[in-house]
Amino acid sequence: MTAAGHILIIDDEASIRKTLARILQQAGFEATTAESAEQGLDYLRGSSFDLIFTDLRMPGMHGMDALKVIHAEYPALPVVLFTAQPDINSALDALRHGATDYLLKPIKPQAIIERTRAILEKSRLEKRKQEILVQIETLQNELKDLDGETPRADSVPQPPAADKERFLKRGVLVLDLRARRATVGEKTFSPPPTSFDYLLALARHSPDAVDYQTLVAEAQGYQTDLREAQELSKWHIHQLRQLLEADARNPTYLLNVRGIGYRLIAD
């Protein structure tokens, strides 16, 4: 693994594989290419990668099937799917099965570099955050032992002091930033990783409207044009409504703001 990150590119088109690899290598990343999902999975099981880019429609194993395998075996590994034939059902299916992002071909070089950097930085921060929380819990348990306050086996564990920043509450909505779960009333659900970040961005601004491009920038860490921002936001909001709303067709929490974006109303 390099300091910048090791990336696996899976695509049956040789020209796309070579172009993406060259773009990423010039930006300082290490890139490995595979011509099929089957080959990509073989590489994955024999090497360490920080991010995977894979085409959706390929001969042999479909990109969606590869995503399911990767997410089952390496749940923390970010996977970005791309396709020249977008449709909302395949996008939602990808997000539901753990995809970090869903991109449209042709992919602009600067966009791929920005997204790669944003995804890897986000993964690095999340990993470090989890390491720190484990260290805090370990130290607190040691302190309890030293003070003779080791809790009984049947006692209810108390959350560490650092957890005061763990929860974000907006009206009836509570976001657990550590477990990355959302609770509304008695209903708790775990959105796909990137969709959770969209909900978090909306919650932080609630009840104000958040425009499409700001949503993408805050949830996914990069800038994009208005059209693509609208498409990306639409997929994630649709996914969230399926989980959050009593009737996804008549939302009461995640509302459209025509021509601008979305807002969260949770009071």
Architecture in CATH of 6-120: 3-Layer(aba) Sandwich (3.40)
Per run of 10 residues, the mean pLDDT along the chain (length 267 residues) is 78 93 94 96 93 91 90 88 73 76 80 86 78 80 73 47 74 89 89 87 96 91 83 88 92 94 94
Q: Where are the domains of the chain?
A: 6-120, 161-264
Radius of gyration of the chain (CA): 20
Burial 188-213 (b: 16+ CB within 10 A, else e): eeebbbbbbbbbbbbbebbeebbbbb
β pairing state of 51-55 and 79-83: parallel
pLDDT at residue 88, as a whole number:
63
Q: How far apart are CA 151 and CA 263, in angstroms?
A: 44
Fold of 161-264: Arc Repressor Mutant, subunit A (1.10.10)
Residue 64's nearest CA partner among 37, 101, 34, 35 is 37
- For tokens 């509450």, the residue is 169
pLDDT at residue 254, as a whole number:
96
**Helix or strand run (H / E) with residue 71:** helix 63-73
Beta bridge partners of 167: 176
pLDDT at residue 179, as a whole number:
81
pLDDT at residue 98, as a whole number:
76
